[in-house]
C-alpha cells in the first residue's frame, strides 16, 4: 500500500494500482452499459412500431389526454384531466405531476410518475433498473406500513408509469420536508419505529426481485471520485471540511471493501434505500413511506443511518443520537416479537459499527446524484445533504471505522 492519506492513516493503493483499477472500471462500466442497456434500446425501438394502445406514456403530459388516462388506469370514461399548480422540485429522477381527474361528476387528485424528461438521466435510470425496482415494489411486495394507494404501476425495459393517490391533497395527511429542521426527537422516534416495523417483517428473508448482490446497479468508485471532485470543487465548495474530503476520497479507493462489508453484514432485510424524511408522510397517527426506487436487501442500519444523517437537525443529532439508536433497537425487538420472527435484532455494538460504515453509502448517494448533472439533484439539495452527512462522518469517527475495515481486509489477505 502507498502512504496513508494525510491525517487519516488510511492507506491509498499505489499509483500503478490506481491507474489499473480505473482502466478496469472503465472497461467494466462500458460492458455493463452494453449488456444492461441493450434490452432498453431494443424495447425503445419496438415501442415505435407497437399499436398505440400498447404504449405507456412517455411523459406525464400524455396523461392529460382523458382517453390515455382512462385506458391506462381502466377506470371508465374520463371527462377531463388537468394539471393544477405543481410543487417545487429539487430532484428530477422522474417526470412527475399532480393531476386533477374529472370523472362521473366527481374530481380526484392523483400523482403520476414517468421517466425523467432529461433523456440522459432517463436512459441511465432505465438501464440500471431503477424504475423497474420501484414498480416491482408497488405491484409485488406488500409492506406492513402505510404506502400510497396504487391506481397503475406498469413498466417495460424502456418505459414506466406510476399513478398513485395524491397524498398532498388529502386533508389528514402531513407531508414532511427535507429542507426544514422539523424532525423533533418525538417525530424521529416515531419514524424509526415505522422503519423497525418494516425491517422486522423481512429480517433474514428479503423478498426476491429487489436489489441484492445478484442484481443491484454497480456503484462505480471512478464515478464516485469524479462526482465527489465536481461536488466539492464546483457544485457546493466548502460543504465538507478538508478532513471529510480526504476521508471520502480514501473510502472510494476502498469501495469494494465497503461493499463487501455491507453485503456480509447480518441480518439483511428489505430497506427503503432512500430513507430521508422527504419520502415520509404522516396520516393520522401513522407513518407512511413512498418513493421506492432503490428498495433493496441490506442491513437495517442502512435506512437508520441514511434517515438520521440526512433528515435530523445536525445541531441536535449529537445530543439525541444515542437515544434514537437505542429506541430503534428496542422497537425492532418488539416488532420481531409481534410478527413472530425467530430472528435476533443486531446488538447495540453491531448497530453502532454499521452506523459508522453505512454513512459512506449515504454520502455516495447524495454526491453521485448531485455531481452527475442532468438535473438529477440540484445544488441547493446537494449542499444541505453533504453538509449534514459530513458532520456525522466527523463526529462518529468514520475514518476510524474505515481504518478498521481496511486493516481487517489487509490482514485477511
The tens digit of pLDDT for each residue in 57-110 reads 999 999 999 999 999 999 989 999 999 877 666 668 999 999 999 998 999 999
Q: Is residue 51 part of a domain?
A: no
Q: Is residue 9 part of a domain?
A: no
Q: Is residue 198 part of a domain?
A: yes
The residue assigned the cell 462505480 is: 220
For residue 392, give the nearest of 320, 322, 317 by alpha carbon.
317
Query: How many Cβ atoms from other residues are within 10 Å of residue 31's Cβ?
Result: 10
The total of structural domains in the chain comes to 1
Cβ-Cβ contacts under 8 Å for 347 (sequence gap 6 or more): none
Q: Is residue 322 part of a domain?
A: yes
Gap between the Cα atoms of 98 and 63, Å rounded: 11
For residue 8, give the nearest of 242, 269, 353 by alpha carbon.
242
Question: CB of 86 within 8 A of CB of 97?
Answer: yes
What are φ and ψ of residue 87, in 5° steps? -70, 155
Quick one: DSSP state of residue 4? Answer: B
Contacts 24+ apart (CB under 8 A), 86-92: 87/168, 90/377, 90/378, 90/380, 90/381, 91/369, 91/376, 91/377, 91/378, 91/381, 92/116, 92/117, 92/118, 92/121, 92/374, 92/375, 92/376, 92/377
Q: What is the largest CA-CA distance in the chain?
A: 72
Q: Is residue 46 part of a domain?
A: no
Tell me which residue range forms the domain holding 247. 15-39+58-412
pLDDT at 395: 96
From the DSSP assignment, how many helices (H) and strands (E) are in the chain?
13, 10
Joined together, the cell numbers standing for residue 162 give 406510476
Query: How many Cβ atoms from other residues are within 10 Å of residue 370's Cβ?
Result: 26
Q: Is residue 45 part of a domain?
A: no
Q: Is residue 231 part of a domain?
A: yes
Q: Is residue 6 part of a domain?
A: no
pLDDT at 411: 45
List the beta strands (DSSP E) in 291-393.
296-298
Low pLDDT (below 50) residues in the chain? 1-3, 6, 411, 413
Joined together, the cell numbers standing for residue 111 give 400523482
pLDDT at 2: 45
For residue 162, give the nearest of 22, 279, 60 by alpha carbon.
60
Q: How far is CA 218 from CA 12, 129, 147, 207, 383, in A?
A: 22, 11, 28, 20, 25
Question: CB of 247 within 8 A of CB of 398?
Answer: yes
The residue assigned the cell 393517490 is: 165
**Buried residues in 41-59 as b, exposed as e (16+ CB within 10 A):** eeebeebeeeeeeeebbbb
Length of the chain equals 413
pLDDT at 84: 86
Gap between the Cα atoms of 125 and 232, Å rounded: 24
Question: CB of 239 within 8 A of CB of 159?
Answer: no
Joined together, the cell numbers standing for residue 194 give 415505522
Alpha carbon distance, N-terminus to C-terminus of the chain: 13
pLDDT at 3: 45
DSSP-based three-state secondary structure for 228: helix
Amino acid at each position: 500500500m502507498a502512504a496513508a492519506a494525510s491525517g487519516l492513516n488510511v492507506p491509498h493503493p499505489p499509483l500503478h494500482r490506481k491507474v489499473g483499477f480505473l482502466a478496469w472500471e472503465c472497461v467494466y462500466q462500458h460492458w455493463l452499459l452494453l449488456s444492461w442497456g441493450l434490452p432498453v434500446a431494443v424495447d425503445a425501438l419496438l415501442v415505435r412500431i407497437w399499436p398505440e394502445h400498447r404504449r405507456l406514456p412517455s411523459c406525464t403530459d400524455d396523461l392529460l389526454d382523458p382517453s390515455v388516462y382512462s385506458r391506462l388506469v381502466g377506470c371508465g370514461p374520463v371527462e377531463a384531466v388537468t394539471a393544477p399548480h405543481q410543487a417545487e422540485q429539487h430532484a428530477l429522477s422522474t417526470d412527475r405531476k399532480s393531476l386533477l381527474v374529472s370523472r362521473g361528476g366527481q374530481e380526484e387528485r392523483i400523482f403520476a410518475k414517468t421517466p425523467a424528461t432529461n433523456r440522459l438521466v432517463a436512459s441511465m435510470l432505465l438501464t440500471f433498473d431503477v424504475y423497474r425496482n420501484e414498480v416491482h415494489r408497488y405491484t409485488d411486495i406488500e409492506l406492513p406500513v402505510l404506502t400510497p394507494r396504487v391506481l397503475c404501476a406498469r413498466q417495460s425495459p424502456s418505459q414506466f408509469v406510476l399513478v398513485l393517490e395524491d397524498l398532498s391533497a388529502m386533508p389528514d395527511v402531513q407531508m414532511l420536508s427535507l429542507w426544514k429542521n422539523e424532525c423533533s426527537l418525538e417525530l424521529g422516534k416515531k419514524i424509526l419505529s415505522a422503519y423497525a416495523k418494516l425491517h422486522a417483517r423481512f429480517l433474514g428473508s428479503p423478498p426476491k426481485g429487489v436489489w441484492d448482490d445478484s442484481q443491484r446497479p454497480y456503484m462505480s468508485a471512478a464515478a464516485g471520485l469524479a462526482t465527489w471532485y465536481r461536488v466539492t470543487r464546483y457544485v457546493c465548495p466548502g460543504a465538507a471540511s478538508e478532513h471529510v474530503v480526504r476521508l471520502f476520497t480514501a473510502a472510494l479507493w476502498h469501495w469494494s471493501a465497503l461493499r463487501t462489508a455491507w453485503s456480509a453484514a447480518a441480518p439483511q432485510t428489505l430497506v427503503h434505500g432512500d430513507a430521508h424524511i422527504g419520502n415520509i408522510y404522516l396520516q393520522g397517527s401513522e407513518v407512511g413511506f413512498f418513493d421506492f426506487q432503490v428498495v433493496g436487501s441490506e442491513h437495517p442500519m442502512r435506512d437508520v443511518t441514511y434517515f438520521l444523517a440526512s433528515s435530523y437537525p445536525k445541531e441536535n443529532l449529537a445530543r439525541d443520537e444515542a437515544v434514537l439508536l437505542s429506541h430503534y433497537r428496542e422497537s425492532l425487538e418488539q416488532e420481531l416479537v409481534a410478527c413472530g420472527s425467530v430472528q435476533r435484532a443486531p446488538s447495540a455494538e453491531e448497530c453502532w459499527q454499521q452506523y459508522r460504515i453505512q454513512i459512506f453509502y449515504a454520502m455516495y448517494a447524495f454526491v453521485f446524484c448531485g455531481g452527475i448533472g442532468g438535473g438529477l439533484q440540484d445544488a441547493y439539495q446537494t449542499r444541505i445533504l453533504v453538509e449534514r452527512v459530513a458532520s456525522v462522518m466527523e463526529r462518529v469517527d468514520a475514518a476510524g471505522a474505515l481504518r478498521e475495515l481496511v486493516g481487517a481486509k489487509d490482514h485477511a489477505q
